[in-house]
Structure 1
């Protein structure tokens, strides 16, 4: 199933169950089966340690291209050591903003530091 979002103000937030604190070390995004022009190209990943009142930049990606459909791409978090109980992905641009203002993401997986 394709997930479509209006690109203006597009973000996805994940709140950790029980308000527990975690250190995000990597994440994966997967493209969908069609419409490569709607693939994410620029985005930021943020973490909050106060339930979403304030945000800290964990990672920023620009000019990323998914070459294939259903392609999984892994990204390491650049700001390490920050504990968060809420994570937010803000999508800033799609692959071809001239032809669409829609975004599609097949899946998002977040990975924490193992203890």
Structure 2
């Protein structure tokens, strides 16, 4: 009994020490501009970015039916970019949205 109580208290202590996931406000987008969506995600992440002129805007539809955590946003952005032939590369604190074709395989 003491072991179960000790294990439970330890689990509660460790859980309390973990930072809470921040839920973000993110609505559904239908035929939205990819550039607008990049900006929306960048605002949520306090992310500085620039878009290479070679990246073309596309239209995106996203339907979310549950809460998104802030930690979900960067993988979401990376997926959106990859589906549209682009990628995000961080250089000196600024994220550059560049064509996938322009990324070296050595990077």
Pairwise same-fold verdict (TM > 0.5): no
What TM-score comes out, normalization by structure 2 length? 0.26
Q: Looking at secondary structure, tell me which structure has more strand per residue.
A: 1
Larger Rg over CA atoms: 2
